[in-house]
Every structure is written in structure tokens, then in C-alpha cells.
Chains A and B, each alone.
Chain A
Amino acid sequence: AQSVTQPDIHITVSEGASLELRCNYSYGATPYLFWYVQSPGQGLQLLLKYFSGDTLVQGIKGFEAEFKRSQSSFNLRKPSVHWSDAAEYFCAVGATGAAGNKLTFGGGTRVLVKP
């Protein structure tokens, strides 16, 4: 069975500083990986996804993530954080199965942005 670990429950970063959120997955085959963001009172919004090919993927809102198979990681980065990036971020891995595309989510990392 697949699993996802986000080691950092909370991260505080100053506005304008860089941000990196860690994600480690456990999966027996080639994973499908996703990062989502959840703003307060909202649903989850897809930031980016990785299926194959270039291991550095670009997403919306200036985010990028790098897939490293040797480390079973898919860390999310942003070079310069804006106050509007304060939210909770979820990493997810897609499962191959009989039907559909069930996702397994990590526990989330809450990001606080200091002025």
C-alpha cells in the first residue's frame, strides 16, 4: 500500500523568503504525485502534478516541485513567498488499482507567512 509523509506540520517563513515543503512517499511502482493547496474555508486546489518525464515540474502561483526517485521525495519549492501563500499544503500519491484514481494524502503542512 502507498503512503505519504509530510514531516513538517507547521512552517513559518518571512515574506520574500524561499519556501521548501518536504514530501516523502512509499509506493512500489512509478508514482503519480500531486501537490494541493488549501486556503482557509476553501477546498483543495491543484498546484502541480508529476507523472513522468522531466523531474522538475512547474505549477501555478510560482511553485515548482522536484521528483527524486532515489530519495522517494517530491519536495515543493517557491523562491519568494507572498503573504497570500499562507495556507495548508498537501502532497498526494496516486494509486494504480482496479478502477478510478484513488489518492493517498499526506497529513499536510501549514505555512504561516510573517510580514
Chain B
Amino acid sequence: DAGVIQSPRHEVTEMGQEVTLRCKPISGHNSLFWYRQTMMRGLELLIYFNNNVPIDDSGMPEDRFSAKMPNASFSTLKIQPSEPRDSAVYFCASSRGQQNQPQHFGDGTRLSIL
């Protein structure tokens, strides 16, 4: 089975530009998570969805960040406008929604804002 698919794998752009990261969860999984990983702050949960509905977005750092899940097989994380401090690796993970189910991670998007 295909795992969690993220695109692009790498993104380099100039500050002020809009950045869109994409995620396709594992088929049949109804929970989806967006994380950010940096050396300074480690792994941070930004937002998670259950059945396409945002449940907890308390980790979203600023209004410049937004996430959507229009259907069960696709989610986006958008940063507009981007800033150099947004440079990080962004991971998407999915799981079955039950409490004892593990999350399965994509390979991440390495984002560099110049």
C-alpha cells in the first residue's frame, strides 16, 4: 500500500511568496496531522483533522499559516506570506481515528525561505 505522500519534497522560495504544501493520506485513514520540525524547537504539531474537520489548530504559529482538507484524500498547508523563520521540514501524518492507532508519516517537505 502507498504510504503518506507529500509534495514537493523540497521547496526553495523567496520571502513574501506564497507556499503550498500538499499531502495525500493513506486510504482509509480519517485523521490527518501537520507537523513542523526544526533543530531549535523539535517536532511541533501544527494542526490536525478528523474526518476532514479541523480539531485542534492551536499549534499554528500565526495567521500566515492555514490548512485545509477538502476531502478525505487531500490536504494542504499554506503559508502566505512566507518568512525566513518558516524554514523547516514539514511532515504530514495520517492514522485511523481510534485512540490506539499509530500515526504514519510522510517523508516531509524541506522548506527554505530565502
Q: Are A100 and B105 in contact (CB under 8 A)?
A: no
User: In the complex, what distance in Å separates the CA atom of A105 from the CA atom of B51?
Assistant: 23
Task: Choose from B43, B97, B106 the contact partner of A101 (Cβ within 8 Å).
Answer: B97
| Chain A residues within an 8 Å CB radius of B86 | none
Whether A102 touches B45, Cβ cut-off 8 Å, given contacts A46-B104, A49-B102, is yes
Whether a CB of chain B sits under 8 angstroms from the CB of A87 is no
Q: Are A44 and B91 in contact (CB under 8 A)?
A: yes
**Which B residues, 51 to 73, have Cβ-Cβ distances below 8 Å to chain A?**
51, 55-56
Whether a CB of chain B sits under 8 angstroms from the CB of A60 is no
Q: Are B108 and A98 in contact (CB under 8 A)?
A: no
User: In the complex, what distance in Å separates the CA atom of A46 from the CA atom of B4?
Assistant: 13
Q: Are A94 and B91 in contact (CB under 8 A)?
A: no
Q: How many A-B residue pairs have CB under 8 A?
A: 64
User: In the complex, what distance in Å separates the CA atom of A34 from the CA atom of B104?
Assistant: 12
Whether A101 touches B108, Cβ cut-off 8 Å, given contacts A44-B91, A108-B42, A108-B43, is no
Whether a CB of chain A sits under 8 angstroms from the CB of B95 is yes
**Which A residues, 55 to 113, have Cβ-Cβ distances below 8 Å to chain B?**
90, 94-103, 105, 107-108
Nearest residue (CB) in A for B43 is A105
Q: Give A28 Cβ to nearest chain B Cβ, in Å.
A: 14
Q: Give A39 Cβ to nearest chain B Cβ, in Å.
A: 10
| Chain A residues within an 8 Å CB radius of B31 | 99-101
Task: Choose from B42, B98, B100, B106 the contact partner of A43 (Cβ within 8 Å).
Answer: B106
| Chain A residues within an 8 Å CB radius of B51 | 99
**Contact bitstring A34-48, B, C-beta under 8 A = 1, else 0:** 101000011111100
Interface of B toward A, CB cutoff 8 Å = 4, 31, 33, 42-43, 45, 48-51, 55-56, 91, 93, 95, 97-108
Interface of A toward B, CB cutoff 8 Å = 32, 34, 36, 41-46, 49, 51, 90, 94-103, 105, 107-108
Cβ contacts A to B, 17 pairs, < 8 Å: A32-B99, A32-B100, A42-B107, A43-B105, A43-B107, A44-B91, A44-B93, A44-B105, A94-B100, A95-B99, A97-B99, A100-B31, A100-B55, A101-B95, A101-B98, A102-B48, A105-B42
